[in-house]
């Protein structure tokens, strides 16, 4: 008995350190800090079951920055989740990163530039987006560029991106991201704010490989120090130059559950405001 008690924590530590990688078994375990914790409970969005859904703790230069649920069948994310800091503006001139572990389980855990510019089975590569302008599309971030003044390099990975209508991306969607950022800055700078940005797949494909989403959505959750909801809500819009609708969390979840034809929760079924 005595030996067992001593060994148990050691085994646990070994297990935890041995599986620290970017494509993870459980992003709640490896990078919980990117998910809202209303009432003290770490509450990620719904994690679909199935081999094509990969949980990614996005890491660059040894720092975890946000989390993504990625769909290797559609080659776009379902959502990216992050703790709100600020928004910043910058364009990337060079290629976007890919996630080596999606196509090679023994690859390094960090996002990387493509070494061999071939099409990869389990993810979009830069070449998939080469003809995007012809179709009026652009590479749209999910987790936005949010690191102060410096270019937030870690958001420039194709696992955090989907084809987005160019006019929508630069216009109504950008305005929506800025609206949420300003709201959280004004109303919640003293508290902790969490944001999830997602896309809902459609029936059109770029390069016959990358799904062009039908909808783009965002949900936010601001928690007071006692972990009660201070502010929450979201927006959802078509991936087209059309107005975006403001929604409360329950309404957002109703839309997403309809689109996915299964229950979907943005903050684990928490962070609602009284009356929702
Ligand atoms: C997978 O990654 C490992 C480690 O970087 C590398 O040695 C190996 O060549 C890679 N395999 C393929 C098929 O690229
Ligand atoms: C790299 O590209 C070559 C041909 O261009 C291909 O034969 C090889 O399988 C590729 N390797 C990987 C790891 O994709």
Specify the ligand 2 atom closest to the Cα of 104: 13
Residue to mutate, 103, 104, 105, 116, ligand 2, most ligand atoms under 8 Å from C-beta: 116
**Ligand 1 pocket test: which of 100, 101, 106, 117 has the largest number of ligand atoms within 8 Å of its C-beta?**
106
Q: 2-260, superfamily in CATH?
A: Extracellular Endonuclease, subunit A (3.40.570.10)
Ligand 1 contact via 107 beta carbon (within 6 Å): yes
Give me 8's structure tokens: 């148990």
| Distances 193 to 42, 155, 162, 218, 244 between C-alpha atoms, Å | 13, 18, 24, 13, 21
Chain centroid offset of residue 3 CA: 43
Express each pLDDT in 246-266 by its tens digit.
999 999 999 999 999 999 999
Q: What angle do CA 162, 77, 101 make, to 5 degrees?
A: 110
pLDDT, residue 85, reads 83
C-alpha 76/C-alpha 56 separation (Å) is 13
CA of 116 to the centre of ligand 1 (A): 11
Please indicate whether residue 134, judged by its CB atom, sits closer than 6 Å to ligand 2: no
Evaluate: CB of 116 within 6 angstroms of ligand 2: yes
Q: Give the span between the Cα atoms of 186 and 182, in whole angstroms.
A: 6
Separation of 133 CA from ligand 2 center, angstroms? 27
Query: Which class for 18: exposed (0-12), middle (13-18), buried (19 or more C-beta within 10 A)?
Result: exposed
Q: What is the pLDDT of residue 7?
A: 42
Residue-by-residue pLDDT tens, the chain, 276 positions: 344 444 444 444 433 433 345 899 999 999 999 999 999 999 999 999 999 999 999 998 888 999 999 999 999 999 999 999 877 777 777 899 999 999 999 999 999 999 989 999 999 999 999 999 999 999 999 998 875 545 678 899 999 999 999 999 999 999 999 999 999 999 999 999 999 999 999 999 999 999 999 999 999 999 999 999 999 999 999 999 999 999 999 999 999 999 999 999 999 999 999 988
- Take atom 4 of ligand 1 and give the residue whose Cα is closest: 107
Domain boundaries, the chain: 2-260
């Amino acid at each position: 008995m005595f030996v067992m008690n001593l060994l148990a924590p050691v085994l646990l530590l070994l297990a935890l350190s041995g599986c620290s990688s970017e494509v993870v078994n459980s992003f709640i375990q490896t990078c919980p800090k990117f998910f809202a914790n209303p009432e003290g409970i770490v509450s990620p969005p719904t994690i679909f079951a199935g081999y094509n859904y990969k949980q990614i703790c996005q890491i660059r230069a040894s720092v975890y920055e946000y989390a993504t649920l990625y769909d290797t069948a559609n080659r776009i994310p379902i959502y990216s989740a992050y703790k709100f800091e600020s928004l910043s503006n910058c364009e990337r001139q060079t290629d976007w990163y890919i996630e080596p572990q999606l196509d090679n389980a023994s690859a390094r855990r960090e996002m990387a530039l493509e070494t061999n510019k071939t099409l990869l089975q389990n993810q979009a590569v830069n070449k998939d987006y080469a003809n995007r302008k012809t179709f009026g599309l652009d590479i749209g971030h999910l987790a936005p560029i949010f690191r102060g003044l410096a270019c937030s390099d870690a958001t420039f990975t194709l696992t955090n991106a989907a084809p987005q209508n160019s006019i929508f991306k630069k216009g109504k969607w950008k305005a929506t991201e800025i609206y949420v950022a300003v709201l959280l800055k004004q109303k919640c700078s003293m508290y902790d704010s969490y944001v999830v940005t997602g896309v809902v797949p459609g029936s059109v494909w770029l390069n016959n490989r990358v799904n062009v989403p039908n909808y783009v959505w965002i949900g936010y959750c601001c928690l007071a120090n006692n972990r009660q909801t201070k502010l929450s809500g979201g927006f959802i819009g078509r991936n087209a130059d059309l107005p975006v609708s403001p929604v409360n969390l329950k309404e957002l979840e109703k839309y997403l559950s309809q689109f996915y034809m299964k229950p979907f929760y943005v903050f684990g079924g928490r962070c609602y405001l009284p009356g929702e």
